[in-house]
Amino acid sequence: MYPHITENNLINRQTYHYIECESSDFFDAYKRSRTDYYNKHKLANMLQVVSFLREIETRYNTAFFPNDYRYVTSIFASAISECLENTSTCLENMNFLVKAFEVQKRFYHAYKEKLKYVDPEQYNCIEHYVVFSLLLAIISIKSNNFKYLSTLLKINDTLLSIQSQFSSDIFESLLSWSITQELRLVNQINVEIKE
């Protein structure tokens, strides 16, 4: 039994604290939660992933921001740029998003200062969570940093928990791509363990 995909992780927020997780049954159940999904859905390719992210970046960059709040769309636009540019070493916006998600397990549409959100009800934009998953997969592959892989596993738990709310087929194929990358990175650790 893999316990971290609930009916809706945005509501039943997972803390991931002090979990008994040493058994191979636990690991097998995790793998099933992923393979069951990507076996049922079309898989996006890297070109489609980048194209989707560039389209989001353009759309979010041209959004109108009526006041001085820190809008999450604006942060995502900058984070996309950070993650897709090969020369970028600064991940300031990406790290803000990681912190926001790790602390609150949600993205609110705007923040006043630090992580103080403007409207407690506005955290349901599924597109934000899909974009975040893709960015984490890309940055995990590029950096080989387990910090990002850990958050990738959490966001994909969340997306799997709300998959029935996906409004577009493209979200399904993008999530399939992200899950495939996630599982490959986790299996890579297995190989290192066996060595």
Partner 1 sequence: MRSLNSIGMIAAPSLRTAAYLQILAQNNFVVSKVYFFVKKENEVTLEKTLDIEGFDGFLPSVSLMNTICKFQIPYEIINETDMNSEYALQFIHSMPEGFLIYSGYAGVILKPALFESGKKFIHVHPGLLPQYRGSTTVYYSILKENICAATAMFMSPQLDAGLKLAEETFAVPSRNVNIDYVFEPYIRAKVLLKAINIYFEKGAFQETEQSEKGECTYYVIHPILKNRALQSRSLL
| Residues that bind partner 1 in the complex, under the rule CB under 8 A | 4, 15-19, 21-23, 26-27, 30, 98-99, 102, 145-147, 149-151, 153-154, 186, 189-190, 192-193
Spatial separation of the C-alpha atoms in residues 64 and 85, rounded to whole Å: 24
Nearer to partner 1, 27 or 166 (CB): 27
Nearer to partner 1, 133 or 173 (CB): 133
Q: Give Cα separations from 114 to 69, 70, 103, 121 (angstroms).
A: 10, 9, 12, 18
Q: How far is the CB of 156 from partner 1 (least distance, A)?
A: 10
Q: How far is the CB of 116 from partner 1 (least distance, A)?
A: 16
Spatial separation of the C-alpha atoms in residues 124 and 128, rounded to whole Å: 9
Spatial separation of the C-alpha atoms in residues 12 and 5, rounded to whole Å: 9
Tokens standing for residue 93:
């916006």
Q: How far is the CB of 33 from partner 1 (least distance, A)?
A: 10
Nearer to partner 1, 63 or 189 (CB): 189
Nearer to partner 1, 78 or 140 (CB): 140
The three-class DSSP label of residue 142 is: helix
Q: Give residue 161's identity as a one-letter amino acid code.
A: S
